[in-house]
Amino acid sequence: MPIVPTPHASARAECFVESVIREMTRVADAHGAINLAQGFPDFPAPEALKEAAVEALRADINQYAVTWGAPSLRGALAEWLRRRRGVEVDPDTRITIVCGATEGMIAAMLGVLDPGDEILIPEPFYENYGPDCILSGAQPRFVPLAEGFRLDPEALEAAVGPRTRAVVLNTPHNPTGRVFGREEIEGLCRLCHRHGLLLLTDEIYEEILYTGPHRTLLLEEGMDERTLVVSGASKTFSVTGWRIGWVISPESLTSGVRKVHDFLTVGAPAPLQEAVARALAWDDAFYDGLRAEYRARRDLLVRGLQEAGFRCETPEGAYYVMTDVASFLEPGEDDAAFALRLVREAGVATVPGSSFFADPARGRTWIRFCYAKRLETLEEAVRRLGAWASQRPACSS
């Protein structure tokens, strides 16, 4: 009998593990726990947006849109960028509509980086960036954020080498809730100019922040020609399952992104592109409402966590709270084991902090809570966490 090799996954796919964030959703479901793990809302999307989608379906918009995005959506986005961000972007040469920011980031990396190019990633970081690098052949250099999750210009500078081509920036930041300040951003832009680096900015939480309006990196001096903005409708319009995202790129890089996007997915869902185009024309009151609602959710969860003894700062943006659970850990317990225990004992699911670090040991005392949830959901979660914490023996820290 000839020896027949058993089927196996590719070496590339073997290099990374299944998403812990998505896995925690399954764990939550299996235990009937409240899911404060994966970042998605448990409340409905705006009624007018759903109506627009229904209309698009009834109008038989069922076939492929233009690969890089329906003209109506690219046009509406360009207008939105002018109105809400103060930037002029040509929709024909600089916008690619993709299947969510997740595809946007991998399409941007595959479209502009060569295998072996190094890319700086501030840590902690959203877990997708690791596999994105493996899939695109880029070499990640993880650069720890400084105290208070601040960008550390010296550490970034020290990480630049001859093969460094790009930096990933995510602001508002997942998982820490930081909105990087002027000084941090200016320092980063100087670094990009000094070393001729591209900046890949994940701005998916751009409308969920509490510190004033979002300032896109495209506005920073000279950054327009070296920045690729990745964002989308998922968080702003509470439709993470629609998969409508975009990449705004310098003209010279757009064809790289578009070609990769075309062969990865052909295009984002056509009727939903039409609906998002309509929503982008809504006036500013929508965003004020969104922010006020998220502020109330944030304040409820942060207060509840702190009362239960979780150590955390008040997030400046996005919809996550990173909490230091060192004082809750049992001897030998790490963040992953603790997160599972919290599901079993308190009925609340979170994401273990190690998912956001290259070396899991650095995230061992952290877990992340998501508060993109109805106030009732958060009230119940806070009640459960409070009850759980009060049953524990008193601890000193």
Q: Which of residues 124-153 bind ligand GLN (CB under 6 A)?
A: 126
Assess 21 for contact with ligand GLN (CB under 6 A): yes
Q: What is the DSSP string of 200-249?
A: EEE-TTTT-BSSSS---GGGSTTTTTTEEEEEESTTTTT-TTT--EEEE-
**Integer angstrom CA distances of residue 241 from 63, 209, 235, 331:** 19, 22, 10, 39
Closer residue to ligand GLN (CB): 68 or 126: 126
For residue 373, the minimal CB distance to ligand GLN (Å) is 12
- Reading the block at residue 274, the tokens are 């039409």
Assess 39 for contact with ligand GLN (CB under 6 A): yes
Assess 236 for contact with ligand GLN (CB under 6 A): no
For residues 244 and 103, give the distance between their C-alpha atoms in angstroms, rounded to a whole number. 10
Q: Which of residues 159-188 bind ligand GLN (CB under 6 A)?
A: 174
For residue 41, the minimal CB distance to ligand GLN (Å) is 11
- Reading the block at residue 171, the tokens are 């602001």
Q: Which of 12, 22, 83, 344 binds ligand GLN (CB under 6 A)?
A: 22
Cβ atoms 322, 124 nearer than 8 A = yes
Residue nearest to ligand GLN (CB): 39
For residue 372, the minimal CB distance to ligand GLN (Å) is 9
- Reading the block at residue 331, the tokens are 């001897």
Closer residue to ligand GLN (CB): 159 or 318: 318
Neighbours of 38 (CB within 10 A): 19
Positive or negative torsion for Cα 188, 180, 159, 107: negative
Closer residue to ligand GLN (CB): 96 or 174: 174
For residue 317, the minimal CB distance to ligand GLN (Å) is 14
In this structure, what DSSP letter does residue 212 have?
S
Residues in contact with ligand GLN by the rule CB under 6 A: 21-22, 38-39, 102, 126, 174
